[in-house]
């Protein structure tokens, strides 16, 4: 993979919904990447669908803790209550949600590289209602893949421009995340 690229894998659908795997190399230590992505209060700085996250401390969440995310995606507005299912700092973090519109499972994996870290994000999603369920394997998959790639590009820019390893310092000198226009 080229240093500045986002790689997306499209495994076959499991029959349970869409699975999108996206990864990118980031020139930051694994702990810095892990701490940033597992702090839901910072999601709005890098993920285009996140409008806000409420009811969370400004730190990485641990197993059993929750975050209420306000999402705008594909013309829909959702609230997702994410629960941390697994946390192995600075390597792996898993969250689940079950909303009125659909269910999702996300896994973040951070692995050390010669010059920083590789961040790998797996999203599994399934809509609950028609016609959205019919669109999961086509339109939703395409939209989620584009959005996931944009999110990782945003994350790379933010983290590589940071002057320290503490979450929250990223906004200095950063014009904002890439959003769908």
Q: Is 16-166 in CATH node 3.40.50.970?
A: no
Q: pLDDT at position 117, please?
A: 97
Angle at which helix 30-37 crosses helix 141-161, to 10 degrees, equals 130
Q: Is the pLDDT of residue 73 over 90?
A: no
Quick: pLDDT tens for 74-127.
777 889 999 999 999 999 999 999 988 789 999 999 999 998 999 999 999 887
The CA distance from 151 to 49, in Å, is 9
Report pLDDT digits (tens) over 14-36: 456 889 999 999 999 999 999 99
Single pTM value for the model = 0.81
pLDDT at residue 181 is higher than 50: no
């Amino acid at each position: 993979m080229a240093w500045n690229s986002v790689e997306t894998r499209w495994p076959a659908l499991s029959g349970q919904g869409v699975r999108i795997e996206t990864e990118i190399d980031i020139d930051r230590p694994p702990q810095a990447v892990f701490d940033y992505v597992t702090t839901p209060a910072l999601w709005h700085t890098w993920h285009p669908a996140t409008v806000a996250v409420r009811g969370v401390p400004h730190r990485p969440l641990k197993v059993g803790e929750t975050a209420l995310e306000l999402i705008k995606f594909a013309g829909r507005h959702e609230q997702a209550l994410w629960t941390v299912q697994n946390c192995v700092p600075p390597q792996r973090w898993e969250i689940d949600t079950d909303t009125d519109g659909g269910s999702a499972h996300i896994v973040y994996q951070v692995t050390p590289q010669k010059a920083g870290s590789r961040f790998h994000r797996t999203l599994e999603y399934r809509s609950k209602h028609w016609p959205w369920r019919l669109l999961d394997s086509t339109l939703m998959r395409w939209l989620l893949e584009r959005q996931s790639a944009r999110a990782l590009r945003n994350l790379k820019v933010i983290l590589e421009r940071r002057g320290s390893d503490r979450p929250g310092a990223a906004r200095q000198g950063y014009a904002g995340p890439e959003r769908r226009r």
